[in-house]
Amino acid sequence: MIVTVQSLADAVRRMEAALLADEAKLNSADSLMGDGDTGSMLTRMFTAIAHIDFEAIDDIGQAFREMARAGSSTTGSSLGTLIIVALITVAKATNGNTSLDAHDIAAHIGAAKLAMMTRGRSAIGDKTIIDGLDFVERAIGDTSTDEPLAIRAVVASRLAVEDFRNRTSRVGRARLLADRSVGLDDPGMLALCTIVRAIANSE
C-alpha cells in the first residue's frame, strides 16, 4: 500500500471527524489527570490541519510540513507540541517524495517517537502517548504476520491503553497524582486510539 498526499488528506479529514466525536470523552479523561482540554485542543488542531489545500501539494514531505505549521498555530500545549514535533520529523524524512510506502511507516513512527521523547524529556514506560506509539510501531513492524497494518495498529493502540491503565503516570501534571493515576487512562494514549482508528477507517 502506498500513502499519497491525497490519501493523507482523506485520513486527516477522518481524524478531524473522529476527534470531534470523541472530544467530550477525551476532555473528561483529561479532567482526571490534567486541564480537561485534550479533546478540544486536538479538535482545534486537526480542524486547522483539515483546512490545508492539499490539492496544491505534490510533495508528501511538504504536506507534513504544512500540517505541522497549521497545527502549531492552534496550540501551545505539551501534547500538541509533541504532535507537531512528530509531524516535523516525518516531514524531514519524506522531503522530496511524492508518496511513501506503508511498510516504512513503522520506521517513521520510531523516528517521531524518539524526537518526541527528546522534546518531552520522557521515556518508554512513563504512561504517555509515546507508549501508545511504541505499541503501534512494534505491531506494524512485525514481519511474522500477514494481518493488515491498519488492523494491527488499531489493536495495538487499544492494547497500550489497557496495559498502562493500572500503572503510575510519571511525567506532566499527571505525575503529581502519583498512585491516584493508577486505574486512569492517559488522555494522550486515548487520543492516539481515536487518531489511529480514523486513519485505519475502522470503527
**Cβ-based neighbour number of residue 56 at 10 Å:** 9
The Cα–Cα gap between 87 and 81 comes to 10
| Domains contained in the chain, CATH given | 2-200 (1.25.40.340)
Residue 181 pLDDT:
82
SS (H, E, C) 109-134: HHHHHHHHHHHHCCCCCCCCHHHHHH
- Model confidence over 97-141: pLDDT tens digits? 999 988 899 999 999 999 999 999 999 999 999 999 999 999 999
- Sorting pLDDT into bands at 50, 70 and 90, what band is 202? low
State the average pLDDT over residues 164-176.
Answer: 80
Residue 177 pLDDT:
62
Residue 176 pLDDT:
60
Grid cell digits, residue 77: 500545549
- Model confidence over 8-22: pLDDT tens digits? 999 999 999 999 999
Identify residue 193 by its one-letter amino acid code.
Answer: C
Surface-to-core class of residue 96, CB atoms within 10 Å of its CB (0-12 exposed, 13-18 middle, 19+ buried) = exposed
Residue 103 pLDDT:
85
Is 29:9 a contact under the CB 8 Å cutoff?
no
Dihedral sign of CA atoms 84, 189, 14, 17 in order: negative
- Sorting pLDDT into bands at 50, 70 and 90, what band is 170? confident
More confident residue, 34 or 182: 182
Residue ranges in the chain assigned as alpha helix (H): 5-31, 38-50, 60-72, 78-94, 105-120, 129-140, 149-164, 187-200
Above 60 in pLDDT, residue 57?
yes
- Model confidence over 85-109: pLDDT tens digits? 999 999 999 999 999 988 899 999 9
Above 80 in pLDDT, residue 172?
no
Residue 6 pLDDT:
95
Residue 175 pLDDT:
58
